[in-house]
Structure 1
Amino acid sequence: MNRPGYAITGGERHIGMKDMRILIVGGGIGGLTSAIALCRKGFDVEVIERDPDWSVYGVGIIQQGNVVRAMTELGLIDDYISAGFGFDRVQVYIPTGQCVADIPTPRLVEGYPGNVGIGRRALHKVLGDRAKEAGADIRLGITISTLVDDGEGVAVTFSDGSSGIFDLVIGADGLYSQTRETIFPDAPKPEFTGQSVWRYNFRRTPDVIGLQAYEGQTGIGLVPLSDELMYMYVTTPEPGNPWYAKEDLASTMRAKIAGVPSPAIQALVGQITEDDEVVYKPLEWMFLEGAWHKGRVVLLGDAVHATTPHLGQGAGMAIEDALVLADELVKADTLDAALTAYRDRRFERCRYIVESSRAICFGQIGKGPLVDNAKATQEMFMKVAEPI
């Protein structure tokens, strides 16, 4: 069958890019960035998201210069910067509150900061609005019921009873990816590190104008999100991956940092009062060593290289994935060549982030040698400054 959008040449179908119909599974950071990048290149894009409310938890995220560069390429840099708080330094502290390193961070885009702290809801709104404006069809409360790739196309039936045939399916559905389970049922499962992260928002104090990272077995960071808002993250050893009741989250988070001697941290402890505002998450990781696609189905972001947050690059790697995948789909002669080239361009960079972040985590909880945070951070900035 010679499907629309393809020409038969020497036994291979060559991609008629403008006519490709692409399904993205997952309406998070990676999925929405993919939608924007692909729509800008002329693809017909549909996004499905299982959450009918399209909700995002309300704390922040740190993003470095490689994301600023990516947002520039996507044409939404000004909206992005306006929604967050730009900064150009990372300060490393010991638990007493003494600053032991002040690291200038490279600016990769002239006229824009080297880093951005941004609320996840604010980032989600920027990406969601722009994906819709770009022409993506976004459907909420929808999952895949069946997926059949016959080599000519991917026949998909959805949980609402609808169906469609797509030239490509992109699994951007996170750490517990249904898409990964479907195409690679024997792939490694996400692995708990032994550490978890606690997050909480505060009114920004005047001194927090960049990332302030505290070293120690209990890692702490203060990150500006806007002129008014900042958030704290706290990483703690959690042997056995315990469960905490919702009504105990605020008091437990306070107890986790009660012994940290830094005056700046102690000034914030008493403000952690609302259980519903504490975001607690066990830290897990996974990395797919083999192929990242099978036939006409490909993975990106946490679905294929989930990292701990110690280098602040989880979302950054997903955003870069989206740009590279869109680029290779335009450049390559065949779909398989495009998907193989995408994986080849991303593999070592993503593995570096996963392994380096995990090493910091393991060092903090005694499962590996202690890592010099300042040195690791500087190396990361050099690495992500390289072209993608």
Structure 2
Amino acid sequence: MQKLIMLIVGAGIGGLSAAIAARRAGHEVLVIERDPEWSVYGVGIIQQSNVLRAMDQLGVLENFLDAACGFDAVEVFAPDGTRVARIPTPRLVEGKPANVGIGRRALQGVLGNSAKGLGAQIRLGVTVESLSDDGAQVHVTFSDGSAGAFDLVIGADGVYSQVRDLILPDAERPVFTGQAVWRYNLPRDTDLDALRAYNGPIGVGLVPIGPELMYMYVTTPEPDNPRYPRQGLAAAMRGKLANCAPAIRALAQQITDDDGVVYRPLEGMMVHGPWSRGRVGLLGDAVHATTPHLGQGAAMAIEDAIVIVDELGKHDNVEAALKAYRDRRHERCRYIVESSLAICYGQLGKGPLVDNHKATAEMFAVVSQPL
């Protein structure tokens, strides 16, 4: 396909990955982001083996690894703290770790600097006001009063995607699961060389993100979807861990900074119909928002970005490329969304308990497959 003028809405993980892939393919790229501060949570994120492969494909693997902390296994613990399994995870890039933990701000820095270094323009504090697709171009008006014409628009603007609402107003909507996740950075345990996942009604994970830093994530039942005030948030998180394994209760005593706690209700969504209309397409959470139980939400958005640009190179028109991208991605993303929700609902008693050992091994087998 000829070189395109592209607009990417959303400068998060998926949008920046799409910008990098598109610039490497020679397309002209403008990325807009509604947040004028381009702010990111200060906690960490798990990036598993398929992300390392994707970062290699994007050409940013070394910078990514320099900002991350690698590990090659997942350890599963019973609620009482007994270790029940250590699962080696497959390496998909020879000579590199199987997985990494990385700070979200560090990840944004790697992707943002790479996108800008490759020539992508990034404008902050700007949203889309309207889209008009005449079949040849998409005419866009922006919130700052400017306008532009683009060969392709990609909505990478999250679970409450404005672009999705504009092009697919009848598509599925995000649904609250009844569960929430809490995250907090802590000094790293000296012997932490894997992701440690503790099963139970309160799910807990410990993830290394640096030589001296790890983060804890905690999933809790929140049936009424409460909004916790910032003041007292650390105490609230500590309280959720009162009946967990002794090692987790000990770590909980270090959760003291209200501003260091990141709390987020968990929502799920899978768009089963089209992911595009005309020359406007969607990726990441805008079409398949997953809970974090398999650690694959960001991975699916990064893979989407690679595939959408790859399909643009294989087709003579944008509409055909967007359809091929959706057909190529739907089943894998559906599997991640539904399998993650199954773990979530098992923890909540809304479904059968899922064997995390088995689910993790199966997930790695699926995401190890080529894109």
Verify same fold: TM over 0.5: yes
The equivalent position to 1:312 in structure 2, one of 295, 299, 314, is 295
Aligned to 1:341: 324
C-alpha deviation, 1:333, in angstroms: 1.8
Provide the rounded CA distance (Å) in 1 between the counterparts of 2:57 and 2:45: 20
Provide the rounded CA distance (Å) in 2 between the counterparts of 1:181 and 1:378: 36
Whether 1:293 and 2:276 are equivalent positions in the alignment is yes
Q: Secondary structure at the match of 1:331?
A: coil
Provide the rounded CA distance (Å) in 2 between the counterparts of 1:341 and 1:296: 13
Q: Deviations over 1:125-175 (max 9, x none)?
A: 000000000110000000011111111111111111111000000000000
Aligned to 1:236: 220
Q: Secondary structure at the match of 1:383?
A: helix
- What letter matches 2:129 in structure 1? S
The equivalent position to 2:311 in structure 1, one of 320, 325, 328, is 328
Q: Secondary structure at the match of 1:271?
A: coil
* Aligned pairs (5 A) from 1:87-236: 87-236=71-220
Larger radius of gyration: 1
Q: Secondary structure at the match of 1:246?
A: coil
Q: Identity percentage over the alignment?
A: 66
Question: Bigger CA drift: 23-32 or 332-341?
Answer: 332-341
- What letter matches 1:264 in structure 2? A
Provide the rounded CA distance (Å) in 2 between the counterparts of 1:255 and 1:177: 34
C-alpha deviation, 1:264, in angstroms: 1.8
The equivalent position to 2:340 in structure 1, one of 336, 354, 357, is 357
C-alpha deviation, 1:99, in angstroms: 0.4
- What letter matches 1:94 in structure 2? A
C-alpha deviation, 1:228, in angstroms: 1.3
Q: Deviations over 1:95-142 (max 9, x none)?
A: 221100100000001000110111100000000000000110000000
| CA-atom RMSD in angstroms | 0.7
Runs of 4 or more off by more than 6 Å in structure 1?
none
- What letter matches 2:9 in structure 1? V
User: Gapped runs of 5+ residues in structure 1?
Assistant: 1-14
- What letter matches 1:136 in structure 2? A
- What letter matches 1:150 in structure 2? D
How many correspondences in the alignment? 371
Q: Secondary structure at the match of 1:244?
A: coil
Provide the rounded CA distance (Å) in 1 between the counterparts of 2:58 and 2:142: 30
Whether 1:282 and 2:261 are equivalent positions in the alignment is no
Provide the rounded CA distance (Å) in 1 between the counterparts of 2:93 and 2:136: 41
Provide the rounded CA distance (Å) in 2 between the counterparts of 1:339 and 1:285: 23
Provide the rounded CA distance (Å) in 2 between the counterparts of 1:83 and 1:232: 19
Aligned to 1:47: 31
TM-score by length of 1: 0.95
- What letter matches 2:56 in structure 1? T
C-alpha deviation, 1:296, in angstroms: 0.7
C-alpha deviation, 1:263, in angstroms: 2.7
- What letter matches 2:314 in structure 1? K
Q: Secondary structure at the match of 2:313?
A: helix
Whether 1:379 and 2:362 are equivalent positions in the alignment is yes
Aligned to 2:233: 249
User: Gapped runs of 5+ residues in structure 2?
Assistant: none
Q: Secondary structure at the match of 1:337?
A: helix
